[in-house]
Each structure stands twice: as C-alpha cells, then as structure tokens.
Amino acid sequence: VKRYIAQWKPDVVIIAGRWELEMPRHWGRTPQLSSAGFQEAYTNTVRWLEQHSKKVVILGQIPVLPLRDLEDNTKAIVRKYRANGNIMPRFQEHPEMTALRKDALTILRLSANTNVIILDPDPIFHHADGSVRYYNHRGVLYSDDNHVNSLGALELKPLLEPYFKEIS
C-alpha cells in the first residue's frame, strides 16, 4: 500500500479502523503495544502519509453492538425483536468499549492539523438516549457487531462527502 501511495501521491487518503483493538487494556486480548506505542506507531504512519498525500482523513471507530462475536446480526436482532414484543431492541454499547473507543479517539486527535482531519462518526450512530443507532427506515446499518454494511456506509456520507467534493 505504501508503494502505491508513494507512487500515486493521492489528494486524500482516508483511513478507518477498529482503533479500540490497539488500546492496551482491551479485554480478552494481549496488547501488541502500550498506549504510547500505539500513539507513536499511529503518528509515524500519519506523518508518512502527510508526506505522500495532500490530506489525511482519519475516521474514528463506530460504536460496537453488544452482540456475541461471530453471531449473525440479523438472527440476533430478530430474536431480540421477538422477545421484546416485536419492538426493535435498544442496544447500549458496553461502557468499557465506549471508554476504549474514546481513549483511542483522543490519541487519534493528537495528530490533527490542517492536513490531518479526524472525523468522529459516533454521533451518527447514537440516539439521544445514548443507545446505538443500528438501523434506520431502510434497514439494519451493521453487517456484524463492528462493521457497517452498505446502508451504514451511506450514513457516513455527510461526514465524508466534503473530502470527496474537494478532490473532484
């Protein structure tokens, strides 16, 4: 990827990730790096990208649905829908996950400047009551507990569209 970016020198590079996995206190996983190590590796990557593109857009992590790992979203939601009297269930992200995502976003924001933009999709995927907004009038927005599907990607359009317009 670096070879192509260095060769093409794109106007905009957009990066998204499940940043909470890089945090050292992620439960059930041995950390690869300390917070300082993650910050250093991330900063080095962003600085390199700045040298090889005009703008770097970093997309923060979306909320993680509290569904079992590897469970089919649709089946899990339908099961909870039926158990809930045929009303779409409200899901709250686990508080530790929310804290990890916010801590990771803080590290991401340390690199923000005129050429590095940090976008937070979190408000798009929450209701006013703090529950995760995982569906709209067209359907479910997630393909699993932590990835958006094509409908979910459309929800990000207002956040990303200015950067696509800038290069078109």
pLDDT at 27 over 60: no
Close Cβ partners of 167 (under 8 Å, ≥ 6 residues apart): 11, 12
pLDDT of residue 69: 62
Q: Please state, in angstroms and rounded to a whole number, the distance separating the CA atoms of residues 166 and 139.
A: 30
pLDDT-wise least confident of 3-17, 27-41, 127-141: 27-41
pLDDT at 73 over 70: yes
Confidence of residue 37 (pLDDT cuts 50, 70, 90): confident
Q: Is 147 buried (19+), middle (13-18) or exposed (0-12) by CB count in 10 A?
A: middle
Confidence of residue 26 (pLDDT cuts 50, 70, 90): low
Mean pLDDT of the chain: 89
- The percent of residues in the chain predicted with pLDDT above 70, rounded, is 93
Confidence of residue 36 (pLDDT cuts 50, 70, 90): confident
* Token representation of residue 144: 């699993």
